[in-house]
Structure 1
Amino acid sequence: MIKGSCLCGAVTYVARGTPGAPAACHCNQCRKQSGHVWASSYVDDGALEIAGEVRWFKSSDKARRGFCPTCGSALFWDHEDDPFICFSTGSIDGPTGLRLRGHIHTADKGDYYAISAEEPQRET
């Protein structure tokens, strides 16, 4: 079980079960939402209990992003075709016990940083 929250504490969550290893996403939407790179883990649908008000933004035809309307913390990513929901690795309270599995959408990464060649990467 993992617990997390937004910056102001108005939104909290509990992720039950074993979360999937997080990935760092470098797509344009994730960079704009997070201000740099979005890192998230995931649990099966129904395994994430959210308390507090979450505002959802429909970021594409099939995906939405959840954030705290008070402090603006980006917390969740949910794609209607996936059997899981993602939560921000940076919003986890305390040690995570998780290890980054790699980088995705690196074809869209910003030009102001580098990713080590030794780290797993996927362009899309």
Structure 2
Amino acid sequence: MPTHKASCLCGAVQITVEGDLPRPSVCHCRECRKHSGHLEASVDVPESWVTVTGAEAVGWFQSSEKVRRGFCKTCGSTLFWDPIFRDWTAIAMGAFDTPTGTQIAGHIFVEEKGDYYEINDGLPQNAR
């Protein structure tokens, strides 16, 4: 079974994912753009695949009734998009240290994308 390593910018948070990474999506919604500084590419994985070392350095922001967003409290790196009451979590693709062996599946919430860029990669686009 493949192992994928991820971390925050300062290294205070280390993430290990055991298993093949599914194809990630790129979210263009207002909340993801504000959280990440642009758009947010993340991959959904079962929580049972994930081990976090340095979890005390992870801060959580409850961005809606159903979702919380995880970041490093030391360096501010975007790490997680976590749907509450689910058995999976999304990990920011930019946090991965090693080659991921996956490619983007498509784009979501494109109706909320910023006006300063275009999506020209030919991948599927969903309005919501």
**Would you say same fold, with TM above 0.5?**
yes
1:54-93 alignment, distance < 5 Å? 54-93=58-97
Equivalence for 2:32? 30
Give the TM-score of the pair, scaled to structure 2: 0.92
Q: 1:48 aligns with which of 27, 47, 50?
A: 50
Any gaps of 5 or more consecutive residues in structure 2? none
Work out the CA distance in 1 between the residues paired with 2:51 and 2:20.
Answer: 14
Equivalence for 1:112? 116
Tell me which amino acid in the other structure corresponds to 1:50: V
Work out the CA distance in 2 between the residues paired with 1:45 and 1:4.
Answer: 15
Q: 1:19 aligns with which of 18, 21, 33?
A: 21
- Alignment pair present for 1:98 and 2:96: no
Tell me which amino acid in the other structure corresponds to 1:58: Q
Moved over 6 A (4+): none
SS in 2 for 1:33: helix
Give the TM-score of the pair, scaled to structure 1: 0.95
Tell me which amino acid in the other structure corresponds to 2:35: Q
Would you say the 8 A contact 1:18–1:43 is kept in 2? no
More helix by share: 2
Map Cα deviations across residues 62-92 of structure 1 (whole Å, 9 max, x no partner): 1000000000000001102543110010110
Map Cα deviations across residues 13-62 of structure 1 (whole Å, 9 max, x no partner): 00112222111100000000111010001211221111112111101001
Work out the CA distance in 2 between the residues paired with 1:27 and 1:110.
Answer: 9
Would you say the 8 A contact 2:42–2:90 is kept in 1? yes
Map Cα deviations across residues 80-109 of structure 1 (whole Å, 9 max, x no partner): 254311001011002111100010000100
Work out the CA distance in 1 between the residues paired with 2:45 and 2:125.
Answer: 22
Tell me which amino acid in the other structure corresponds to 1:118: G
